[in-house]
Amino acid sequence: MKTFKNIMGYVVPIVVGLLIALLIKQYWFTLVRVDGTSMDPNLYDTEQVFVMRSESIHRGSVIVFDAFGENPEETSTKNYVKRVIAVAGDKLSAKNGVLKVNGKTIDQSYISKSEQKATNEINNVGNWNNLSELAKRQGWQKNENTIIVPKGKYFVLGDHRSVSNDSRYWGFVDKSKVMGVVKAGFWTNKTQQININDQWQTFFTK
């Protein structure tokens, strides 16, 4: 009996600890590894980031979501890390690398001028022209160069616009697919932390 009590004295704390860890991972935060270069220079390939599950999503928030069912090229679960540019009901337009949401210009100082310009130029995206067919297929509301984000959806872009596979190509991200909001860890530099954790607070130019 004494042996059993001794064993349980070790087992119970371990089990409790594992349960707490599972609850934290399920409801509070988890660690995710960045896969690829689509968020350069603010997040790098193989970098570890926190994903806050209960954090509110804003324009400018960086999120993790399951791209399976969003990007037709993905045949199984695949986590993407992208930045939210527009939320449900927003009117989004782009011209010459200038992004506007509801007529207000977005502050894109977190990426270079060349990457801002690549928003339009990559694969002939110029002025959203290649989105016309996608818009028809998915039933988007589209007026000239303006896209209206549907209810329960997000429009996302990678910071490395010249290589990022994002909403320009396969459309919106459903709210149900989002795992949480990314937070750069203490091991990243200050610029990365500001550009990932705080950019949503200064989303529009002044």
pLDDT digits (tens, 9 = 90+) for 153-196: 999 999 999 899 998 888 899 999 999 999 988 788 899 999 99
Residue 131 pLDDT greater than 80, yes or no: no
pLDDT at residue 119, as a whole number = 79
Handedness of CA 41, 44, 47, 49 (dihedral sign): positive
What is the number of H-type helices and E-type strands within the chain?
A: 5, 12
What's the pLDDT band for 24 if we cut at 50, 70, 90? very low
Q: Which among 172, 43, 41 is positioned nearest to 114, based on CA atoms?
A: 41
Average pLDDT over residues 79-96: 91
C-alpha distance from residue 21 to each of 7, 26, 123, 184, 193 (Å): 21, 9, 44, 20, 25
Fold that domain 34-202 belongs to in CATH = Umud Fragment, subunit A (2.10.109)
What's the pLDDT band for 4 if we cut at 50, 70, 90? low
Q: Which among 196, 205, 206, 47 is positioned nearest to 110, based on CA atoms?
A: 196
What's the mean pLDDT when you consider all of the chain?
81
Q: Who contacts 122 (Cβ-Cβ below 8 Å, separation ≥6)?
A: 161, 162, 163, 168
Higher-pLDDT residue of 39, 135: 39
Give, rounded to a whole angstrom, the gap between the first and last alpha carbons of the chain: 72
pLDDT at residue 134, as a whole number = 58
Question: What are the boundaries of each domain within the chain?
Answer: 1-28, 34-202
Least confident of 14-18, 54-58, 110-114: 14-18
What's the pLDDT band for 28 if we cut at 50, 70, 90? low
pLDDT at residue 122, as a whole number = 45
Residue 101 pLDDT greater than 90, yes or no: yes
Q: How is 37-81 classified by DSSP, letter by letter?
A: STTTTTS-TT-EEEEETTPPP-TT-EEEEE-BTTBTT--S--EEE
Cα angle 85, 86, 87; round to 5: 135
What's the pLDDT band for 17 if we cut at 50, 70, 90? very low
**Distance, CA of 164 to CA of 38 (rounded, Å):** 5
Average pLDDT over residues 64-73: 94
Q: Please state the pTM of the whole predicted model.
A: 0.80
